[in-house]
Amino acid sequence: MSDASIAIGIGEAAAERENRWGLGRLLRELLRNKAALLGLVILVTIAAAAILARLVAPYDPLFQEVTQRLKPPGWTTPEGRISLLGTDHLGRDILSRLIFGARISLIIGLSAVAMAGTLGTLIGLVAGYRGGRIDDLCMRLTDTMLAMPFILLALAVIAVLGPSLRNIILVLGITSWVSYARVVRAEVLSLRTREFVSAAKALGGGGSRIVFRHLLPNVLTPVIVIATLEVARMIILESALSFLGLGVQPPTPTWGGMLADGRAYMTTSWWLATFPGLAIMLTVLGINLLGDWLRDVLDPRLQL
Amino acid sequence: MFCFWWSLECGLSNWVRDGTMTRYLIRRFWQSVLVLFGISIIIFIILHLTGDPAVLLMPPDATQEDIDNFRKLMGFNDPLFVRWPPWEYLSPPWRFLTDTQYGRFFTGVVRGDFGNSFRHQQPALGLVMERMPATIELTMAAMAIAVSVAVPVGILSAVRRNTALDHAGMVLALLGQSMPVYWLGIMFILLFAVQWNLLPAFGAGSWKHLVLPAVTLGAFSMARIARLTRSSMLEVLGQEYVRTARAKGLSEVRLVLKHALKNAAIPVITVIGLDMGTLLGGAVITETIFAWPGVGRLAVQAISYRDYPLVQAAVFTLALIFVLINFLVDILYTYVDPRVAYK
Amino acid sequence: MRKWTAWIWMAALVLALAPAAWAAPSGKVTVAQGVDPTTLDPQDHEETPAFNVLLNIYDTLLVRDKNLKITPWLATSYKLINPTTWEFKLRQGVKFTNGEEFDAEVAKFSLERMANKALNLRMTALRVISRVEVKDKYTIHIITEKPFPTLDAHLTLRGAMVPPKYFKEHDKAFLARNPVGTGPFKFVRWVKDDRIEFEANEQWWHGAPKIKTLIFRPIPEETTRMSALQTGEVDIATNVPPHLVKEIKNHPKVTVSSAPSVRTIFIPLYNVQCEMIQGSYDCTKPYPGPTAKAKVRQAINYAVDVDSIIKNVLEGQGIRTATPLTSNHFGYDPKLKPFPYDPARAKKLLAEAGYPNGISLMLHSPNGRYPKDKEVAEAVAGQLTQAGIKTELKVYEWTTYMNNVAYRHGGGPMWLIGWGNTAWDADYTYTPMFRTGQVLANYWNPEFNSLLEDGQTTMDPKKRLQLYAKAGRFFLDDPPAISLYQQIDNYGVSRKLNWTARPDERIEGFSISLKP
């Protein structure tokens, strides 16, 4: 479809790009752009909360006290527990669950993206470099993947394998590789004819050597941009799966799961759903701000 | 330089005459058919991974004998694709088509028959077709709303870059992309239906019933298209030829609408095509929340009940529509950007 | 002069309209359930939504009144002639909405259709009928293969009378979408997943219904269903969640009508593990885990604070039960009291059984099938863990649950289930759930099994009550389950309607009327 036009566009930008790689220059650009800085700050805060969860969370996210359920934010239990964001339908502290939930959401987002990114990059590299029949096969595979409605595929797979953290990452990873593959393939197509590839070939380098030493580093740039934005999408998809009952098992807290559980209480106890929703929104906002800036700096031709 | 689809200088008529485009389209057609069957095989394998639904389709007090008889009746004991030793199925070769479950499915589909839904005891394709208009209506409406709001917003943001209007538009777009669909849907129902009593809470019917579900479904795409339009426009507006045209004295509006837009449209069209697929599949959640009688809901129930014929019919039909839409996008593409090379 | 004529005209108008307004059915009522039925063939399903919808089109031979007593319906009387023969006298002057007349031949056709294995209908409870003999135009004899004491109970729900000519003229697929019966309403149309529309049958033998149009609409998402109730788009909504009951009761336009449900929620415990051997299940090996011991299962029962769960998780919308039977079920023993909450005693029992340091178990639960099912399971798991029985919870989507956990003996050692026994007889709960060899059972106790067998073949009700009282005691001594509670069905009802909820989940269109 748009492969050729992307190829042309990227080719033109590739030349410009080679000037921008310096890390120092990158950091200076970042500090200048307030939006991206905000995004970075948000993400760092959330990542810190996730990593330091055990230290930061006030209470055990799994501790139930059914008599203290559905209490509003700021509530103090008879034993002296203060729930800053209220308690959920089983009396668990929402703030603690939110903090631990950050962990799971980030794990899912990053792992799924890693899996999909690796898979997609490999397929894109092979398709772009080898061309011909293999390329055709890969493109048809891509089309097949795109034509299948994600939710139905996820539902079918999880219905068969059972819902668990591992299976969710598996499903998300296996269904999201297409964007990476397309972009990588387009890049490779344009790079394939460049001088340094012919030079490497002349020097006697084998196929895989060329792919990994020369093509891969150049291809990584757009992949990183896409990967960043995809993490946001993974987090939102996880919440969609939780809505359908296919998410991570209780009592493990995930933002999507908390949102899905809390939706029934929106009119009576709004805090159950609102805080996880805000957490998701903020994280995705941060990712998008940072990702947009990355794209503008590294590869403005990349249209998603 | 670019040339526009209606102009003869593109040599469009040449392409039609020498059949390059025809050959391209025919190749794409056959590839699409292959894609569809690939999908059906994948779904087939996944569904059969945990055994058959005989137990699910019988009432809870059925005996083992009842269940076994049912299995035999439905042909669940036959092999999926091939049995060992495989040469038994090579002579006569048509045994693959009659004695394996996939073989039977294949011969049926070629005739347009997906079999009877296990749970509803009605032809599966018929059930899907009944619901398809509702899903298509919802998807089209969602896309129409998304595009008609997103494109103007994107253009305005690009033209009035870095003003308050630009920032406001992009912030809204960011928000639209970061809210899970079902949350949006439920909030809309609580606000517009229960609190303010402006629109109905559920179901299909008048245009009023279409508003909330379509906006909910289209929100994500709306946000994406707005941002994409903006960046695409910005890029085109920075091009040489645009600066030249501006220097020549062309009015701003004419510039934006006639020249810039045509070229900025390319990636937007791609995304619209891709998003249609997402919308068709993603309608599942929206349909469940708003009790919209579409294919998505049907497919989810079918998967839960391992109602194979119905799942196959639903996925096949949805994929078919997606493939058709992208086919059309391809054709549209060749007009808008004649630089696309046919391999 | 003019004023006079005006008054006369008005009076005439009122007089002309009044009888019509008073007698003819009028008004439209919309009922929202959670799911759409899969078929409108009254003999080819076992789903509550289908029962609810179809009882308005088809009549059965018997029915239960609002006190759950079996009353004549299309049959005027019945008696047992010998243990395998029942005589039914049928009502005269009843017609189907397509003109066919109801008589003994119709009853014979309808019942034998249900008993016919070759048709593979999903309603299998009446397959025990071997044949029906027509004695005269309005008398039949039903002959069963073996003594079947619950035949009349089943006939209040199953065995709808269908028009033979119409059913013979069309195939199964057509009949599933175009029902024709003797009931209070006529079928108008069915737009799948959207609505099922009925119109009053003014010639109904029991009198014309008071409302003209009855519509059933499926709204799966709970929040949407409650919203639709509040906006007035539906008049009756099923399954109001416990935490919204107060809010809806005090709403200006709607209120809540409650009834103790037929359904009880309990957690069966495994004491045997069934294994698939040569195509069928063998259930003789003891469960490879602590629950094989009776003391452990008793400890589990002591460790759960059911009253707290009912009060807090269900906000009071539940009734504590000692066994999976409700007080309305035949075979219920009011003298049987449930386990008290005693975690100390639980720990002691565990130590006695050889587990002084506690044990580790798994609990399986569906999600969203029963009100607050997942929350209840979470609460139970939490309570058990706090008492030294570390419990890991696994939650499933409903049909995966049935397929992998329920029907494949894959729910060990604890799995949550709800059972709505509308035959109102203990046999239809105890046997399918706990009799070794049944597809849902994972319990083995030879004495319990023989009590159930006797109960199935004894025709004397007094003797059966004794048998089931004895069987009930096992829930204390050698518990096959943790009995939790009986649900309370909460229906959201528009204040414009006169309708009260029934304890058997039936929504009878002919008893709904609009307030003037």
User: Token pair for residue B270?
Assistant: 């791609």
Residue C372 has pLDDT above 60, yes or no: yes
Q: Give A127-142 pLDDT, tens digit per residue.
A: 887 777 888 888 888 8
Whether C473 shows a pLDDT value over 50: the answer reads: yes
pLDDT in tens, B130-184: 999 999 899 999 999 998 998 888 888 888 877 888 888 888 888 888 888 888 8
C139 against B22, higher pLDDT:
C139
Q: Which helix (H) or strand (E) holds C250?
A: none
For residue A62, give the chain C residue with the closest CA.
C382
**CA distance linking residue C54 with residue C196, whole number of Å:** 10
Residues 107-166 (C) with a CB less than 8 A from some CB of B: 120, 122-125
pLDDT confidence bin for C233, thresholds 50/70/90: very high
Report d(CA C471, CA A140) in Å as an integer: 63
What average pLDDT does this structure show over C104-110? Answer: 93
- Torsion-angle region of C409 (φ positive above 0: left; ψ -120 to 50: alpha; else: beta): left
Mean pLDDT computed over every residue of chain C = 89
Give the per-residue pLDDT at B8.
Answer: 40
Quickly state the pLDDT bin for B320 (edges 50, 70, 90). Answer: confident
Cβ atoms A69, A90 nearer than 8 A: yes
pLDDT of residue A11: 47
Residues of chain A found within 8 Å of residue B157, distances taken between Cβ atoms: none
Q: Flag if B174 and A289 touch (Cβ within 8 Å).
A: yes
Whole-number average pLDDT of chain B:
78
- Name the pLDDT band for C197 (thresholds 50, 70, 90): very high
State residue A225's pLDDT score.
81
Q: How confident is the model at residue A9 (pLDDT cuts 50, 70, 90)?
A: very low
Sign of the CA dihedral A63, A69, A72, A77? negative
The confidence band for B13, taking pLDDT boundaries of 50, 70 and 90, is very low
- Pick from A267, A270, A271, A272 the residue to mutate for testing the C interface (most C CBs within 10 Å): A267
Looking at every residue in chain A, the average pLDDT score rounds to 80
pLDDT higher than threshold 70 for residue A6: no
Is the pLDDT score of B91 beyond 60? no
Please judge whether B56 and C403 are an interchain contact, meaning their C-beta atoms are less than 8 angstroms apart: yes
| A177 vs A121: CA distance, rounded Å | 8
Rounded CA gap, C256 and C494, in Å?
8
Q: Do residue A160 and residue B49 have CB atoms under 8 angstroms apart?
A: yes
Residue C498's DSSP bridge partners are C513
A154-175 pLDDT, tens digit per residue, is 888 887 777 888 999 999 998 8
Q: Locate tokens 């969609």: which residue?
A: A240
Determine, for residues C378 and A250 on separate chains, whether the beta-carbon distance falls below 8 Å.
yes
What is the rounded average pLDDT of the residues B274-282?
77
Binding-site residues on chain A for chain C (CB distance < 8 A) = 64, 66-67, 69-70, 89-90, 159, 162-163, 244-246, 249-251, 263-269
| Position B268 pLDDT exceeds 60 | yes
**Residue C122: pLDDT band with limits 50, 70, 90:** confident
pLDDT at B61: 60
For residue B336, what pLDDT band results from cuts at 50, 70 and 90? Answer: low
pLDDT, residue B7, reads 42
The answer, for C313 touching chain A at a CB cutoff of 8 Å, is yes
Q: Which is nearest to C323 in space by CA: C431, C250, C426, C420?
A: C426
Closest CA of chain B from A56, distance in Å: 26
CB contact under 8 A, C217 and B305: no
Using an 8 Å Cβ cutoff, are A198 and A16 in contact? no
Assess contact for A169 and A111: CB atoms under 8 A: yes
Decide if A220 contacts A159 (C-beta within 8 A).
no
Chain B residues touching residue C219 (CB < 8 angstroms): 202-203, 291
Q: How far is A4 from chain B (nearest CA, A)?
A: 6
pLDDT category of residue B1 using cuts at 50, 70 and 90: very low
pLDDT at B14 over 60: no
Give per-residue burial for C6-41: e unless 16+ CB within 10 Å, then b.
Answer: eeeeeeeeeeeeeeeeeeebebebbbbbbebbbbbb
Question: Residue B16 pLDDT more than 70?
Answer: no
pLDDT higher than threshold 60 for residue A79: yes
> Does the complex come out with an ipTM higher than 0.90?
no
CB contact under 8 A, C124 and B66: yes
Q: Collapsing DSSP states into helix, strand and coil, what is residue A303? A: coil
User: What pLDDT is attached to residue A13?
Assistant: 47
Q: What percent of chain A has pLDDT over 90?
A: 16
Which pLDDT score, from 0 to 100, does residue A300 have? 58
pTM: 0.83
Q: Please, which pLDDT band fits residue C430 given cuts at 50, 70 and 90? A: very high
Which of these, C76, C43, C47, lies nearest to C62 by C-alpha position?
C76
How many CB atoms are closer than 10 A to CB C176? 20
What's the rounded Cα separation, in Å, for the pair B262 and B324? 23
Q: What integer pLDDT is reported at residue C23 of this predicted model? A: 60
- Among A2-11, B111-120, B204-213, the range of highest mean pLDDT: B204-213
Q: Which of B55, B59, B202 sits opposite C233 (nearest CB)?
A: B202
Task: Sort strands C359-366 and C414-415 into parallel, antiparallel or unpaired.
Answer: parallel
Q: Which residues of C touch B122 (CB under 8 A)?
A: 173, 176-177
The secondary element (H helix, E strand) that includes residue C42 is: none
Encode pLDDT of A219-270 as tens digits: 787 888 888 888 988 988 888 888 887 888 878 899 988 998 898 898 888 8
Q: Is the dihedral of CA C309, C312, C313, C317 positive or negative?
A: positive
Residue B190: both structure tokens together: 């609580």
How far is C93 from B294, CA to CA, in rounded Å? 43
Name all chains with 3 or more CB-CB pairs below 8 Å to chain A: B, C
Question: CA–CA separation, B251 vs B260, rounded Å?
Answer: 12
Which one of C194, C222, C229, C436 would you mutate to disrupt binding with B, by most B Cβ within 10 Å of its Cβ?
C194
B256 near B152, Cβ under 8 Å?
Answer: no
Q: According to the model, what pLDDT value does residue A1 have?
A: 39
Task: Verify whether the Cβ–Cβ distance B68 to C279 is below 8 Å.
Answer: yes
Question: What residues does C272 pair with on adjacent strands?
Answer: C286
* C337 contacts chain A (CB < 8 A): no
What pLDDT digit, counting tens, does each position of C477-512 carry? 999 999 999 999 999 999 999 999 998 888 999 889
Inter-chain CB proximity A240 and B182 less than 8 Å = yes
If you measure CA to CA, which chain A residue comes closest to C405? A162
Q: How far is CA A207 from CA A130, A137, A260, in A?
A: 9, 19, 49
Report whether A106 contacts A204 (CB < 8 A).
Answer: no
Pick A288's closest partner by Cβ from B47, B174, B266: B174
Min Cα distance C227 → chain A (Å) is 10
Name which of C244, C309, C394 is nearest A249 (Cβ-Cβ). C394
Q: What share of chain A is helix, strand, coil (3-state, %, to 5)?
A: 75, 0, 25
Is residue B2 predicted with pLDDT exceeding 70? no
Helices and strands, number each (H, E), in chain B: 15, 0
Percent of chain B exceeding pLDDT 70 equals: 77
Strands C139-144 and C185-191: unpaired
Which of A66, A244, A265 has its CB closest to that of C309?
A66
Summarize the confidence of residues C310-318 as an average pLDDT: 91
User: pLDDT per residue over A94-106, tens digit each?
Assistant: 999 999 999 998 9
| Distance separating alpha carbons of residues B113 and B253, to the nearest angstrom | 54
b/e map of B41-55 (b: 16 or more CB within 10 Å)? ebbbebbbebebbbb
* pLDDT for residue B105 is more than 60: yes
Q: What six digits make up the tokens of B75?
A: 């042909």
Contacting residues of B for A304, CB less than 8 Å apart: 224, 228, 271
Q: Are C144 and C130 in contact (CB under 8 A)?
A: yes
How would residue C234 be classed by pLDDT, with cut points 50, 70 and 90?
very high
In C55-127, which residue ranges form alpha helices assigned H by DSSP? 104-115
pLDDT recorded at residue B121: 81
Residue A4 clears pLDDT 80, i.e. is over it: no
What letter would DSSP give residue C146?
S
**Which residues from chain B sit within 8 angstroms of residue C277, using beta carbons?**
none
Q: How far is residue A133 from each of residues A65, A130, A138, A288, C271, measured CA to CA in Å? A: 62, 8, 9, 37, 59
Please, which residues bridge with residue C185 across strands?
C200
- pLDDT for res A206: 61
| C-alpha distance from A147 to closest chain B C-alpha (Å) | 5
3-class secondary-structure state, position C99 = coil
C-alpha pair distances (Å), C443 with each of B227, C287, C288? 61, 9, 13
Residue A273 near residue A262 (C-beta atoms within 8 A): yes
And the tokens for C112?
Answer: 């034998």
User: pLDDT at residue C110 above 90?
Assistant: yes
Whole-Å CA distances, C332 to A272, C427, C473: 40, 11, 11
For residue A217, pLDDT over 90 is answered with no
Structure tokens at C209: 């219904």
More confident residue, C159 or A12: C159
pLDDT band at residue B10 using 50, 70 and 90 as cut-offs: very low
Tell me what percent of the residues of chain C surpass a pLDDT of 90. 62
Residue B215 pLDDT > 90, yes or no?
yes
Instruction: Return the residue of A nearest to C223 by Cα.
Output: A264
Number of B/C CB contacts below 8 angstroms equals: 124
Closest CA relative to residue C376, chosen from C361, C359, C388, C391: C391
Residue C330 clears pLDDT 50, i.e. is over it: yes
Measure in Å the smallest separation between the Cα of A260 and chain C Cα atoms.
Answer: 12
> Which helix (H) or strand (E) covers residue C191, if one does?
strand C185-191
A268 to C382: CB separation less than 8 angstroms, yes or no:
no
b/e burial code for range C311-333 (CB count within 10 A of at least 16 → b): ebbbbebbbebbbbbbebbbbbb
Distances (CA, A) of B239 to B260, C235, C256, C505: 9, 61, 66, 70
CA C107 to centroid of chain Cα atoms: 24
Question: Residue B194 and residue C230: Cβ atoms within 8 Å?
Answer: yes
Q: Are C58 and C179 in contact (CB under 8 A)?
A: yes
Work out the minimum CA distance from C92 to partner chain B, whole angstroms: 34
Contacts of B194 in chain C (CB under 8 A): 227, 230-231
Q: What mean pLDDT comes out for the span C454-483?
A: 92
Across the interface, of A90, A163, A266, the residue whose CB is closest to C375 is A90
At residue C149, the 3 state secondary structure works out as: coil
Task: Respond yes or no on whether the N-terminal peptide bond of residue C286 is cis (omega within 30° of 0).
Answer: no
Closest-CA residue of chain A to B48: A160
pLDDT score at C404 = 77
A244 and C309 within 8 Å at the Cβ level: the answer is no
Where do the H-state alpha helices sit in C442-487? Answer: 446-457, 461-477
Res C305 pLDDT > 90: yes
Question: What is the band of B25 on the pLDDT scale with cuts at 50, 70, 90?
Answer: confident
pLDDT reading at A298 higher than 60:
yes
Chain B residues within 8 A of A288 when measuring between CB atoms: 174, 177-178
For A262-291, letters b (16+ CB in 10 Å) and e give bbbbbbebebbbbbbbebbbebbbbbbbbb
Distances (CA, A) of A212 to A218, A220, A268, C371, C515: 10, 11, 57, 56, 79
- Mean pLDDT value across residues C130-158: 91
Phi, psi angles (nearest 5°) of residue C515: -70, 140
* CA-based nearest distance B39→chain A, Å: 6
Task: To the nearest 10°, report the CA torsion of C324, C326, C327, C330.
Answer: -80
Higher pLDDT, A94 or C278: A94
